[in-house]
Amino acid sequence: MEESAQSFWQLYGEAAKTSLGFFWKAGWAFVLGYGISAMIQAFIPKGKLTPYMGKPNIKSISISTVFGSASSSCSFAALAAARSLFLKGAHFIASVAFMFASTNLVIELGILILIFLGWQFLGAEIIGGLLLIIISAILIKITYPNKWVEEARKKVEKEESSNDDKFDWKERIKSKKGWYLVGNKFVSDWKMVWEEILIGFSIAGFIAVFVPNNVWEAIFLQGMKDDLPGWSITLENAMVAPFVAAATFIGSMGNIPLATVLNSNGVLFAGIMGFIYSDLMVPPLVMINAKYYGKKIALYIAGIMYISIVATALILHNIFALFSIIPESSKKVEDIAQFAFDYTFFLNIGFVITAIILIWLAKKYKETTNTKRGMDMPGSSKTKRVIALLFAIIVFAGLIIFLLG
């Protein structure tokens, strides 16, 4: 019994160290990604693009994709922005394309995938992200629920839209206020995602240590390779991965470390990509869509997403297998989640300074615009905040145990 308890505390300490290792490895990437995203949001006027997104054609979907990839990667922010575009006249298909692009093709997500999984997975993510948008657009066009969409538009139109996107970007980029706004966008994005990131990275660290390999083998049929045909296991991995992602309640930025855990435990390429693409299928996001558009459209979007994700994962897997280029990341969790005086150390130092400057700019923005504390960010809640702080305490306590051990 005593030996078992000692083993538990050792695992607890190791799990906390792994979680902090994930944070350490990705810290500079978050600042870089959200800094670039803040500049794009501050200096690119949405209002000038929206009129070109009103039709379900290639041009409209392409603009939505580019616009989405230049936006924030926060899943909750993606839903709010998509609703705003829908309100301003964007076609429903273009709005869905924006949602996918803003959570699967953004800069900060790409940097994380590069760090945790490698450049091969980054390339697959980009190709698959575009394929995902194409498949979902085709499915929606074939099954377009006119009545439901019109009901959703009437529901959304009851809300007022902001005119903050009417400005001359050339003048703004030269002004102090424009750069103050960059800082404000940076801080606002962090307020939206810090809970999700903290919870996601903490869960990933503890799952990496506490969940034995045979659990993943059972879920993804890794022990059945000699009994079942390969195509059936690939199909099962692609179909099950979205449900595993939904069960974690973690959004786009928080599930990359967990994708690394799945990869290191032998889950097939189709399963890993299906897991990564399923960030918009977590229950809280489906409920937010229900609040925005109504239950029918929310479930319709979730259904389109699921079919598109599974189809994309399978197509990617088979194309990459055909050319024998399926990514096999050599990166292991224990190799990523470690502290060392390497490039990560110096990048983190540099981007801590960058973050301080951006926070100072945000402070100046509030001073010059007399901005006071506003409404809660999309997806934010007292319950979620308490859970995030609880995870912080658990990780901090585990680190003390690890250091004392």
Distance, CA of 100 to CA of 124 (rounded, Å): 15
Confidence band for 378, pLDDT divided at 50, 70 and 90: low
Q: For residue 397, what are the CA distances in angstroms to 66, 179, 183, 257, 392? A: 43, 39, 33, 21, 9
Distance, CA of 196 to CA of 273 (rounded, Å): 20
pLDDT tens for each residue of 163-209: 555 677 788 998 999 999 999 989 987 887 788 778 878 887 888 88
Residue 349 domain boundaries? 2-404
Task: Determine the pLDDT at residue 272.
Answer: 93
Task: Determine the pLDDT at residue 373.
Answer: 55
Task: Determine the pLDDT at residue 332.
Answer: 67
Are residues 136 and 277 in contact, defined by beta-carbon separation less than 8 angstroms? no
Within 10 angstroms of residue 300's Cβ, the number of other Cβ atoms is 21
Are residues 204 and 22 in contact, defined by beta-carbon separation less than 8 angstroms? yes
Task: Determine the pLDDT at residue 403.
Answer: 87
pLDDT tens for each residue of 2-27: 556 558 888 999 889 988 988 888 78
Average pLDDT, the chain: 83
pLDDT tens for each residue of 303-347: 999 999 999 999 999 999 998 888 875 566 666 666 777 778 898
DSSP state at residue 223: G
Task: Provide the b/e sequence for 28-49 (b: ≥16 CB within 10 Å).
Answer: bbbbbbbbbbbbbbbbeebeeb
Q: Total domain count for the chain?
A: 1
Q: What's phi and psi for 228, nearest 5 deg? A: -120, 150
Q: pTM for the full model?
A: 0.75
Report the range of poorest mean pLDDT among 228-237, 333-342, 357-366. 333-342
Q: For residue 377, what are the CA distances in angstroms to 70, 120, 171, 253? A: 20, 34, 28, 17
| Token couple for 179 | 């750069």
Amino acid at the residue 169? W
